Amino acid sequence: MYSLAFSILFVSILILTLVVRFWLASRQIRHVLAHRAAVPAEFAEKIPLAAHQKAADYTVAKTKFGLLTLLVNSGVLIGFTLLGGLQWLAGHLQALTGTGMWSQIALIVAFAVISGLIDLPFDYYRQFVLEQRFGFNTMRRGLFFADMLKGALLGAAIGLPLLWVVLSLMAKSGDLWWLYAWFVWSGFQLLMMVLYPTVIAPLFNKFVPLADESLKSRIEGLMQRVGFASKGLFVMDGSKRSAHGNAYFSGFGANKRIVFFDTLLSRLAPQEIEAVLAHELGHFKLKHIVKRIAMMFLISLGFLALLGYLKTQPWFYAGLGVNPVALTLSGQGQGTDALALLLFMLVLPVFTFLLGPLSSLSSRKHEFEADAFAATHTQADDLVSALVKMYEDNASTLTPDPLHSAFYDSHPPASVRIRHLKGAAA
Ligand SMILES: [Zn+2]
């Protein structure tokens, strides 16, 4: 009875999210096309019409492609759950491997391989058709497949031991397993923050210390002014995959580093680079990064506690197309732990989708604060001209649908952001 109610709830929310996402996408497409004919007045002197139209076409193409992948992914989700895909997979694997730890791990690996194979043609199309058409792809096919292989090996090397620990806790540490799993997960996240910039990212890209001496002394001056110590400034060879440019901040403690894509560096003037960097430092100085990490820990604690409860509820499995009794001799034993994890990971995004705007809202608030920080410590006009170049180079639309933007965007629309910066300058 509960399981039927849960199935109905799941399907209703899935349909609701699909309707909302199609509605937002159609608004976005209509809005962008309606403003395609002319560059918005405030950008008219800086951005050529051809670039504006390219951004419109790129946005529309990406949005349409997003809808296609959304439909396919929703079909796959239903296939794995209500249509019995996971049940079938788990049953066959257990016939081969029993119900112990190895069968649990085999189930999750099999799931990861199948979803990876389903995603592959879409990833390929995105890179070699969509990005290619707009001149952003700089990647050779060999690199694409090498990246994929490296990613899979790395995922196995890091993911399998972690999975083993979590499944062991689920099986053997009693009712509070989720709390112990949370400690493990949080420790793992912190470890990744150290390992990502120093060990993992260098497997995919080259990072060289910024060489330009005059730029370096300009940047060191800025870091001194705002009181920021860092292991360094690095330039990343982003151009080997894509023409999109970016700058980011990674690591923490003594491992902090600032990374500029070579594609960005080659386009911006020194004072613009300084302004972009000031924005990134703003995120650090205003404790956005610490707040974000704390929030992430808190949310994962909540979700793990929820999983701790759901794992013991028969309706959770049955409502999602899995019959645990048929799969395990010992009832709620280890036989269903991997299933509980997979089901939870599969359906969680459906149930949390409508909360997305909250996270976008908090992220945009941080962007305004970091912009204001940059405007205090460098010239607001330099950040404005850097942003205009970045929008043009990335073919980001200057005229997003306001509602679409409010729902999804981690950064405020260009015009709003620039208006705030101009206000700060004046
Ligand atoms: Zn930012």
Exactly one of 337, 367, 371, 382 is catalytic; name it: 371
Q: What is the pLDDT of residue 331?
A: 45
Q: Give which of 362, 414, 400 is closest to 63, Cα–Cα.
A: 400
Does residue 259 sit in helix, strand or coil?
strand
Contact predicate 104/114, CB 8 Å: no
pLDDT at 94: 84
Q: Which residues are near ligand 1, the ion (C-beta closer than 5 Å)?
A: 367, 370
Determine contact, residues 245/238, Cβ cutoff 8 Å.
yes
Q: In what order do the strands lie in the sheet with 247-250?
A: 207-209, 232-236, 257-261, 247-250
Q: How far is the CA of 64 from the centre of ligand 1 (A)?
A: 27
Alpha helices in 257-379 (DSSP H): 262-265, 270-285, 288-310, 314-318, 324-327, 337-352, 356-377
User: 């990335």: which residue's tokens?
Assistant: 394
**Token couple for 258:** 């600032």
**Rounded Cα–Cα distance for residues 9 and 42 (Å):** 47
In the reported structure, the alpha carbon of residue 104 is separated from the centroid of ligand 1 by a whole-number distance in angstroms of 40
Enter the pTM of the model.
Answer: 0.90
Centroid of ligand 1 to alpha carbon of 67 (angstroms) = 27
The dihedral formed by the CA atoms of 281, 287, 293 and 299, expressed in degrees to the nearest 10: -140
Spot the catalytic one: 280, 337, 367, 401. Answer: 280
- Per residue in 132-159, pLDDT (tens digit) is 999 999 999 999 999 999 999 999 999 9
Q: What is the pLDDT of residues 17-71, one digit of tens each?
A: 999 999 999 999 999 999 999 999 989 999 999 999 999 999 999 999 999 999 9
Give the separation between CA 349 and CA 75, rounded to whole angstroms: 14
Q: Which of these, 423, 348, 409, lies nearest to 10 by C-alpha position?
A: 348
How many A from CA of 29 to the centre of ligand 1? 26
Burial of 316 (0-12, 13-18, 19+ CB in 10 A): buried
Residue 251 pLDDT level (bands cut at 50, 70, 90): confident
C-alpha to C-alpha distances, 412 to 149, 180, 299, 366, nearest whole angstrom: 36, 38, 24, 10
* Residue 101 Cα to ligand 1 middle (Å): 43
Under 8 Å CB-to-CB from 132, ≥6 apart: which residues? Answer: none
* 32 contacts 399 by C-beta, under 8 angstroms: yes
Q: Is the dihedral of CA 70, 71, 72, 74 positive or negative?
A: positive
What is the pLDDT at residue 332?
Answer: 45
Residue 392 known to be catalytic: no
Residue 59, number of CB atoms within 10 A of its CB? 22
3-class SS of residue 336: helix
Tell me which residue of 85, 80, 92, 68 sits closest to 18, measured CA to CA.
68
Rg (CA), the chain: 24
Q: At what angle do helices 356-377 and 414-425 cross, to 10 degrees?
A: 30
**pLDDT confidence of residue 103:** 87
For 314-367, what is each residue's pLDDT tens digit?
999 999 999 876 665 444 456 789 999 999 999 999 999 999 999 999 999 999
The residue type of 54 is: K
Query: What is the average per-residue pLDDT within 404-421?
Result: 94
The pLDDT value recorded for residue 348 is 97
Q: Which residues contact 245 (CB under 8 A, 6 or more apart)?
A: 238, 261, 263, 264, 267, 390, 393, 394
Closest by Cα among 73, 57, 181 to 123: 73
| 196 C-alpha to ligand 1 centroid (Å) | 20
CA of 369 to the centre of ligand 1 (A): 9
Per-residue pLDDT reduced to its tens digit, 79-104: 999 999 999 999 888 888 877 888 89
Q: How far, in Å, CA of 205 to CA of 201, rounded?
A: 6
Question: Per-residue pLDDT for 411 more than 50?
Answer: yes
371 is catalytic: yes
Mean pLDDT lowest among 34-48, 252-266, 392-406: 252-266
Tokens of 345: 């990971």
Tally the C-alpha atoms within 13 A of residue 19's C-alpha that lie toward its C-beta: 6
How crowded is the C-beta side of 116, counted as CA atoms within 13 Å?
14
pLDDT of residue 412: 94
